[in-house]
Structure 1
Amino acid sequence: MAVINRIAGFADEMTAWRRHLHQNPELQFECHQTAAFVAERLREFGISEIHEGIASSGLVAIIEGQGTGPTIGLRADMDALPIMEATGLAHASVNAGKMHACGHDGHTAMLLGAAKYLAETRNFAGRVALIFQPAEEGGGGAKVMCDDGIMERFDIDQVYALHNAPGLPEGKMVTTPGPIMAAVDTFEIVITGHGGHGAMPHETKDPVVAAVGIVSAIQTIVSRNHYAIEDLVISVTQIHTGTAENIVPAEAYICGTVRTFNPDVQAMVMRRMEQIVAGQAAAYDVSARLDYQIGYPATVNDAGAAEFAALVAALVVGEDNVDAAAGREMGAEDFAYMLQERPGAYLFLGQGESAGLHHPEYEFNDEIAPIGASFFARLVETAQPVE
């Protein structure tokens, strides 16, 4: 692999940064200590233009290259998850119930590594905008940063991001033109009936049987209401009801997730879910309320940017380790909002076999940090060469 020698030379530093961040995870928009750590490192690298407090705890740092040219944006997410860590590592989280279980500590370390190299060499034209973003995990921090005007304020022309991928061979990089990750919506259904004694169900309006009917009917949206070649996932993930074996409860709760790529499919799901909830409630003589929450949009790579990013990836990991047409998956990512604002691409970097993302035993593979940092650096140098 053609990892940049200078970046390989400070791999141990990157590991130290990453493990410090891992020990001190923060959630959502409250990444203030993380951002302060990042800003301190950037100043050590000689980067003086650092804009803090964007989207509460996000920051954007500017590295000036040689001469005039465009500005390329590189994004890393900083937030952790509300998970109790179970790795047993010496650098495990010291904040109970908070854990870097998705590798955002690694993403931040990779972008810091690229920043250190780029600030030293400045072998590029124009500028680099380093985007350190809070609240990817459910808060939509990317949207908030875009709403705060970072693309216009810093004159960003294109934007790129990486995510580690457990199970993908270490050092392999994949992307795809067009949609790479799905839109994600959440639904909640509250069913209200009339409780009573389990031995006398005729005196009740049972929300349990209504919940079962609604869940079964929702599954027919995928099997009977959408065109089979259009990707769609509807998963019911929670059902809560009841307190005892001989009591018919008064209420039941259902929730789940919807993943789509096509807005027409998304609209169909919303319409059918409303019809099903209303119809099943009437059939079982209960009342039911649907709360359908539209979340992150699909993450859509610019075709040209994805092709370019794959070519750069090949410079770092070799052509045999790059898949430029890997297809799309049903996960979701708020980098989608940045790609709605500017052309760019999102890529995955394999970290080998490990516990999966969002698992309490997950650990970022520090061996891939120099690869990710080298990719970011080569991306800048290749996109904006000095003439």
Structure 2
Amino acid sequence: MKVTRLEDIRRWRRYLHKNPELSQKEYKTAAYIRAELDKMGLTYETCLDTGTIVYIDGGSQDTIILRADIDALPIREMNEIDFKSENDGVMHACGHDAHASMLLGAIKEILGLKESGGLRVNVLGVFQPSEESFGGANLMIREYDFKKYNIRASYALHVNPDFEEGKLVTRLGPIMASCNEFTIDVKGRTAHVGLRENGLNALNACVNIYQQIEAITVYDLDCKHTNIIHVGKMSVGEVMNAVPENGHMEGTIRTYDSGDFDIIKKRMEEICSGLGLASGCRVDLNFKEGYPALLNDACLLDLVEEAALKTGASFEFKKEPYLLGEDFSFFSELGPVNYSFVGIRNEDLGYTTGLHTPTLQMREEALVYGVDFLVELVKAYCN
């Protein structure tokens, strides 16, 4: 970094960490980001109330997107630090405070590059709300006219305690999974346990549906593909001495292959229909499609590796993708995308706990690599 100071990153990140806000409620967060952009002399557009889009004109026909998410999670922080969350029960447990800070730092650096005459590509800085729920990327793309720019590529970073400080990581193809949800409602008929032959047992139906759904990944899908069908919530029955009448199940499906997802949906529909007939219960299956899989484009990979190495960080290609969801995948509708990780693991300080935990912590020094990486990506388009 030549223009941005470590103190800037620390100040941004710690303010945001201290003042986290949930999806679609990031009003103070957005106001703070916009105030910092005002200090840089930049104008910006708003989207979805709390989304902010800043355009830096490099005098080019081409534009690249740098995106950061800004929302927090409904988690009560357990870190004892002087910038601990003051919004009880809400925490930046996924590092979006760091993401926004890295993008602010990169924007400040890019302005310095422009002042020196070295910027020859247009840059869109996108501060995106509601990544943790509601699919804010999808909503932004539907509301904001990104197509008025010639988008060459979109880039995003995520801090990751799986990797040591000073490491940048990406991979070719799938890096994050599609994330879809389902609910199953079973309606039987109650009866006294002493007259159970008069009832239709929703519990038996739910148990059988669960067992058969769990078998789909074993018997219906390519065993070389990684897929998850997970029932995380089930409630059945009313009282202990009656035939259970009502059952409810909720779960998630994670996959990288749209063909696999189609097979899963078809098999689940067949299972629920068949168990409805076998049990006599009414079985209602509903899907809520969420985020598509995030696939890194091959055409950006060499550029990403070169940019990462220029930061002085060590660079790694991840062997296996994560089965986590990420709505940055929607940006692939605008053109090629790349999603990479910034290592924040520091075992000497005990910064080893995972994302979405109440003790996630990091040093701001680790974020310098992320700022430099974003700037090197921009420079790659200026040659």
TM-score calculated relative to the size of structure 1 = 0.91
Match of 2:125 in 1: 130
Q: Once the 2 structures are TM-superposed, how far is the Cα of residue 171 of structure 1 from its aligned partner?
A: 2.1
AA of the residue aligned to 2:295 = V
Distance 1:303 1:276 in 2: 38
Whether the aligned pair in 2 keeps the contact of 1:188 and 1:292 (CA below 8 Å) is yes
Q: Once the 2 structures are TM-superposed, how far is the Cα of residue 244 of structure 1 from its aligned partner?
A: 4.2
AA of the residue aligned to 2:107 = A
AA of the residue aligned to 2:310 = L
SS in 2 for 1:168: strand
Residues 258-290 of structure 1: CA distance to partner in whole angstroms, max 9, x if unpaired? Answer: 111221111110010011111122222211110
Match of 1:78 in 2: 70
Q: Once the 2 structures are TM-superposed, how far is the Cα of residue 222 of structure 1 from its aligned partner?
A: 0.5
Q: Once the 2 structures are TM-superposed, how far is the Cα of residue 327 of structure 1 from its aligned partner?
A: 3.5
Match of 1:369 in 2: 367
Q: Find 1:151's aligned residue among 134, 146, 156.
A: 146
SS in 1 for 2:306: helix
Match of 1:201 in 2: 196
Distance 1:25 1:110 in 2: 16
Distance 2:73 2:109 in 1: 29
1:105 aligns to 2:97 (yes or no) = yes
Distance 2:78 2:247 in 1: 32
Whether the aligned pair in 2 keeps the contact of 1:69 and 1:125 (CA below 8 Å) is no
1:166 aligns to 2:161 (yes or no) = yes
Q: Find 2:263's aligned residue among 268, 273, 286.
A: 268
Residues 53-76 of structure 1: CA distance to partner in whole angstroms, max 9, x if unpaired? Answer: x123111111233x4352211000
1:57 aligns to 2:50 (yes or no) = yes
Match of 1:343 in 2: 336
**CA RMSD after TM alignment:** 1.8
Distance 1:248 1:82 in 2: 37
Match of 1:255 in 2: 250
Match of 1:142 in 2: 137
Distance 2:167 2:136 in 1: 28
- Higher alpha-carbon deviation: 146-155 or 67-76: 146-155
Distance 2:193 2:167 in 1: 57
TM-score calculated relative to the size of structure 2 = 0.92
Name structure 2 gaps, 5 residues minimum.
346-350
Match of 1:89 in 2: 81
Q: Once the 2 structures are TM-superposed, how far is the Cα of residue 17 of structure 1 from its aligned partner?
A: 1.1
Residues 203-233 of structure 1: CA distance to partner in whole angstroms, max 9, x if unpaired? Answer: 3222112111111010111010111112211
Q: Once the 2 structures are TM-superposed, how far is the Cα of residue 243 of structure 1 from its aligned partner?
A: 4.7
Whether the aligned pair in 1 keeps the contact of 2:74 and 2:89 (CA below 8 Å) is yes
Match of 2:348 in 1: none
Whether the aligned pair in 2 keeps the contact of 1:45 and 1:120 (CA below 8 Å) is no
Distance 1:315 1:365 in 2: 21
SS in 1 for 2:165: coil
SS in 1 for 2:291: coil
Q: Find 2:377's aligned residue among 373, 376, 379.
A: 379
AA of the residue aligned to 1:18 = R
Note closer, same or farther for the CA distance 1:254–1:131 as it changes in structure 2 (3 Å cut): same
Whether the aligned pair in 1 keeps the contact of 2:292 and 2:329 (CA below 8 Å) is yes
Distance 2:174 2:145 in 1: 23
SS in 1 for 2:152: strand
Distance 2:370 2:145 in 1: 23
Give the length in aligned residue pairs: 375
Note closer, same or farther for the CA distance 1:89–1:192 as it changes in structure 2 (3 Å cut): farther
Match of 1:185 in 2: 180
SS in 1 for 2:162: coil
Q: Once the 2 structures are TM-superposed, how far is the Cα of residue 301 of structure 1 from its aligned partner?
A: 1.3
Percent identity over the alignment? 33
Note closer, same or farther for the CA distance 1:157–1:55 as it changes in structure 2 (3 Å cut): farther
Whether the aligned pair in 2 keeps the contact of 1:301 and 1:343 (CA below 8 Å) is yes
Give 1:244-323 correspondences, 5 Å limit. 244-318=239-313, 321-323=314-316
Whether the aligned pair in 1 keeps the contact of 2:135 and 2:291 (CA below 8 Å) is yes
SS in 2 for 1:166: strand
Distance 2:237 2:88 in 1: 31
SS in 2 for 1:269: helix
Residues 131-156 of structure 1: CA distance to partner in whole angstroms, max 9, x if unpaired? Answer: 10011112111111111244213443
AA of the residue aligned to 1:114 = A
Whether the aligned pair in 1 keeps the contact of 2:2 and 2:109 (CA below 8 Å) is no
Distance 1:165 1:42 in 2: 26
Name structure 1 gaps, 5 residues minimum.
none
Whether the aligned pair in 2 keeps the contact of 1:339 and 1:345 (CA below 8 Å) is no
Q: Once the 2 structures are TM-superposed, how far is the Cα of residue 86 of structure 1 from its aligned partner?
A: 2.5
Distance 2:340 2:212 in 1: 37
Note closer, same or farther for the CA distance 1:6–1:85 as it changes in structure 2 (3 Å cut): same
